[in-house]
Amino acid sequence: MTATAPTGLPDLDPALPDLEEPDLDEPDLEEPGAQPPVVSATRAPSPISAILSRDPMRGDLHWRPPLLLAAGDVAAATAAATVAVRDTPSVPVVALLVVAWLLLLSADHCYDRHVASRLDQVRRVARCGTVLVAASAVGATLLEPQLRPRQLLVLTLTATAISGAQRLVGDRWRGGTRERIPVVVAGHRREVARVMAELDRSRGHRYRVAGVCVATSTGRSLGVPETCGFDRLPTVAVQHGARAVIVVPCRHLEPMTLRRLGWQLEGSGTSLMVASGLFDVAAARARIGYAGDLPLLHVRHAELTGARRLLEAGAERVAAAVALVLLAPLLGLLALAVRHDTPGAAFFRQVRIGRNGRPFSMIKLRSMVADAENRRATVEGLNESDGVLFKARTDPRVTRVGAVLRRYSLDELPQLVNVVRGEMSLVGPRPPLPEEVARYDADTRRRLAVRPGITGLWQVSGRSDLSWEETVRLDLRYVDNWSLGLDLRILCRTVRAVVRHDGAY
């Protein structure tokens, strides 16, 4: 059996297994030595018609985003020249700056429609701004010697800031809804289904699957128009008004076939994108390298050790110690409320598993009756979890005060002591129980590669409302893609999650 393209993490979507079929069910579409089917190329659109055209999805004439972006960039460059040169700037200088700025943005593909991420667009604008600094310095030396370095810096920063800002908020200028870029996904059904599931699950993109192209039909609909036979792929892309074709490589779509497909898509101006088969890899960890003319996707290892990890650990311990001092009066009042509500100790200690499988004693404010562990067998029937966790919305062991503490995550504040000790982190995977770890498979044990956290992706993404598969996937994504910026974003999102208390029970 021929292996399909690698998919990285195991399939975590319970709806996908019934879409899988062996590769042998899909017959070879190309016999050795056979010529690929000839597809008539569509005439390439003119530059004007590419900007001002009739959208097949809306049916009315409208200005497309590249022209709006270009107009905004012209305004940005003009404003930059006006701000940098407080005296009336010469017309040639302004004109030269505008042309140079537009050429730089165009050369870095800032107007390409398939660059769907707004953050990616801003990165490209910032890169162009860096080049503009050097170009402006050379131009000023040759044309306007009176321009000072400070003026050049102000000019560059102003143009970059305005052009970047309009890409961040430009979607709201177009009516508050993001334009969805229609694409066609091609490959074996199993891999196509996985790509579609990922696009549906993720929110950081602007692609809309308008159709799929597979080798054979099994009668199970993928929810979008489906075409059988890769020889029709260029025509299908035009029929669906697709701006890009996403190809998941398989034995039917080998390198030379993909090259021919790229030639055929040139005529209609449709982009060709090849899926790597990897999921949950942050953009900062992946880059394209070349061995001769062979493109290689290099994926950087997860940052589990190093200077930034040491910096994070030190900063978290200091922040946790300061927070404990500031929150001491509140913790005292909460402890008194727990003792007054039900008999027993105010604080609850429980053995949890930390980094690399080391056990530690986690501290929480008691939110259940004192003998809750002994009553565990009586509530097993209330378990709503689909995995190794125990979750119950109406656990009778939870006290009246404990329900309030859990609702606003106040019971977790004493875990700051664990952070000071170095046993936990402010952000990380959920600290598991020993019996849960005993049921982990090899992939799930990856969660133990870092210190567990008081909050994490699991908490800001739904907490107890998440399925076990979703919880594991979020934790593995965090472990593999950790960065200081990611921790800061999670901490900011934690505030909203606590206020809304979704999934807190």
pLDDT by residue (tens digit) across 315-334?
A: 999 999 999 999 999 999 99
pLDDT computed for residue 74 by the predictor: 87
pLDDT at 47 over 90: no
pLDDT at 56 over 50: no
Contacts of 346 (CB under 8 A, 6+ apart): 334, 335, 336, 338, 339, 365, 366
Instruction: Please write down the HEC assignment for all residues of 29-61.
Output: CCCCCCCCCCCCCCCCCCHHHHHEEECCCCCCE
- Where are the domains positioned within the chain? 17-29+180-279, 62-173, 307-500
Q: Could you tell me which residues are beta bridge partners of residue 363?
A: 349
Q: What is the pTM of this model?
A: 0.70
> 381: exposed, middle or buried (C-beta count within 10 Å: 0-12, 13-18, 19+)?
exposed
Q: Identify the pLDDT of residue 501.
A: 64
CATH architecture of 17-29+180-279: 3-Layer(aba) Sandwich (3.40)
Distance of alpha carbon 182 from alpha carbon 240, whole angstroms: 8
Region of poorest pLDDT, from 19-33, 440-454, 455-469? 19-33
Q: Is the pLDDT of residue 247 over 90?
A: yes
| pLDDT at residue 145 in the model | 58
pLDDT at position 123 is: 84
Q: State residue 4's pLDDT score.
A: 38
Residue 83: how many other CB atoms lie within 10 Å: 16
Give residue 43's pLDDT band: very low, low, confident or very high (50, 70, 90).
very low
Q: What is the pLDDT of residues 80-97, one digit of tens each?
A: 777 766 555 567 767 877
Residue 483 vs residue 43, higher pLDDT: 483
Q: What is the pLDDT of residues 420-438, one digit of tens each?
A: 999 999 999 999 999 999 9
- CB–CB of 210/186 below 8 Å? no
pLDDT digits (tens, 9 = 90+) for 262-291: 999 988 888 899 988 888 888 888 888 889
**In the predicted model, what is the mean pLDDT of residues 7-31?**
39
Does the pLDDT value for residue 118 go beyond 80?
A: no
Return the pLDDT at 131: 86
